[in-house]
Amino acid sequence: MYNNSVNLSATAFLTDFYELMMAGGYISGGREKTLACFDLFYRNVPDNGGFAVMAGVEQLIRALSSLSFSEEDIDFCRDKGFSEKFTEYLKNFRFECDVWAIPEGTPIFPGEPIVKVRGPILQAQLIETLLLNCINHQTLIATKANRIVRAAQGRKVAEFGSRRAHGFDAALYGARAAYIGGCDATSCTPAAQLFGIPCLATMAHSWVQSFPSELEAMCAYASEYPIDCILLVDTYDTLRSGVPNAIEAFKRELLPRGYRPTGIRIDSGDLTYLSKKARKMLDEAGFPDCDIMASNSLDEGIIRDMLIQGAKVDSFGVGERLITSASSPMFSGVYKLSAVERDGKMIPAIKISENVSKITTPCEKRLWRLFDMSNGKAIADVMTLDSEDMADVRSYELFDPDYTWKRKTVEGFVARELLVPIFKNGECVYRSPSLTFIKAYCAEQVGTLWEEVLRYEKPHNYYVDLSQALWDEKNSLIEAHRNQG
């Protein structure tokens, strides 16, 4: 029976049930304090793109900072047959892990660790679902937003998707992620309130329909909201009535009071054709400064086609296909063990599969991005053993980890470590920057990628390499397991 008293936002209990089963097993086996290291990484870029955009770290920090188990949680575990020793552990739970993460807004690539967790195996395992939930969703939406914003070629993009989001959390944090990815505004009121994202609103068709005439509806709206006035012009007939009535409303309600119109919005029909005709009508009426916004099930593909065809659109309102990442609605983030303590030593751990893409990279690792000092462009990412330091390296031989004969020596670069400390022994040691900073940082970092990586169709495969020492360790483990078989 559903328990209405349960706090559904209690993040510590946001876990798959098998995580609890394993946690109970660790307790019974006396292994709850065994150290382990896990990596969160992803396998495939959404929409077959060249990169993804990291997001969700701030929400992850908030969640991990408040981990605890309520009496209802503990009673549930007791009812499911877990031992009293385990429920007592949950009652006195204190998060003790070290956590590293790539900062939000950073371009990220398949296979590389974007979050690293080191700590007692019970805890590191127990937070798996929570980590994936925070990072997968927001990274997916930030990545989609960045694709759409780049397709708009400098024109403003507003996120309009709350009503089509998969629940209220998806609407709220999706709006946040879309802003990181480059969107300029949102229609989601709580996102504007909580995160300081600029909010944007226009009238709806129902407003126009509720008046005896379209002109009366537009005049009433312009009178009430003369600042940043945007009128919806497609309720009946965009060119025969909508745009002419908007022009008349501007002349009646705005000009006499010293205001200029902000724009019109077209939400149906052939947006490219209608925008061209509307632009001419607005210019001839003396409103060349009145922007045209287009909306209606847009995505990066439609926007690119519209601009190629000469659409006279100044901004886009993008909803359902952004907030759900409709063309690629799943982010392939996974969380895998990379090392575990045995006899007081950290031993590399690897998962081997007949599906080659599912073979993991073992060991506690560091991740470096090499930037060309002459132009600031990203050359490659390199995963190394935790003991390797590339900060002062000035010449390095890159090689393809799958096709090892493909090698290239690079010089004149600076190596920047991507994973930064977030938690130390369960205490947060990282202060999240402002959302405005993260958005600007994202644009800056995407700008370090070569145009070939930014392509929408068949982008260049950005290099994510292993150091020689890490590659040797991985292959020795694969060989050892093969010989055991």
- The residue extents of the domains of the chain are 11-141+329-484, 143-323
Kindly state the percentage of the chain with pLDDT values over 70: 98
Model confidence band, residue 359 (pLDDT cutoffs 50, 70, 90): very high
Whether residue 249 contacts residue 211, with contact meaning beta carbons closer than 8 Å, is answered with no
Arithmetic mean of pLDDT, 301-313: 98
| Beta carbons within 8 Å of 458's beta carbon, 6+ residues apart | 48
Return the pLDDT at 18. Answer: 94
Query: Per the confidence metrics, is the pTM higher than 0.75?
Result: yes
Distance CA 390, CA 470 (A): 14
pLDDT of residue 485 exceeding 80, the answer is no
**Helix (H), strand (E), coil (C) string for 142-209:** HHHHHHHHHHCCCCEEEECCHHHCCCHHHHHHHHHHHHHHCCCEECCHHHHHHHCCCECCCCCHHHHH
- Report phi then psi at 220, rounded to 5: -65, -40
pLDDT in tens, 68-79: 999 999 999 999
Length of the chain in terms of residues written: 485
Residue 270 CA, distance from chain mean position: 31
Tell me whether residue 199 is exposed, middle or buried, using C-beta atoms within 10 angstroms of its C-beta: 0 to 12, 13 to 18, 19 or more. middle
pLDDT of residue 86 exceeding 90, the answer is yes
Using alpha carbons only, give the angle 399, 113, 69 rounded to the nearest 5 degrees. 170
Handedness of CA 122, 86, 21, 75 (dihedral sign): negative
3-class DSSP state of 399: strand
Model confidence band, residue 8 (pLDDT cutoffs 50, 70, 90): very low
Higher pLDDT, 354 or 187: 187
Model confidence band, residue 4 (pLDDT cutoffs 50, 70, 90): very low
| Beta carbons within 8 Å of 465's beta carbon, 6+ residues apart | 380, 381, 382, 383, 398, 399, 400, 401
Q: Which CATH number describes the domain made up of 143-323?
A: 3.20.20.70
Q: Residue for token digits 């900073």? A: 437
- 349: tokens are 């751990």
Nearest to 142 by CA among 45, 60, 64: 45
- 73: tokens are 């949680």
pLDDT of residue 214 exceeding 70, the answer is yes
Task: Give the amino acid at 375.
Answer: N
Arithmetic mean of pLDDT, 293-305: 97
Distance CA 437, CA 417 (A): 20
Q: Which CATH number describes the domain made up of 11-141+329-484?
A: 3.20.140.10
Tell me whether residue 151 is exposed, middle or buried, using C-beta atoms within 10 angstroms of its C-beta: 0 to 12, 13 to 18, 19 or more. buried
pLDDT in tens, 250-287: 999 999 999 999 999 999 999 999 999 999 999 999 99
Name residue 37's beta-bridge partners.
Answer: 118, 339
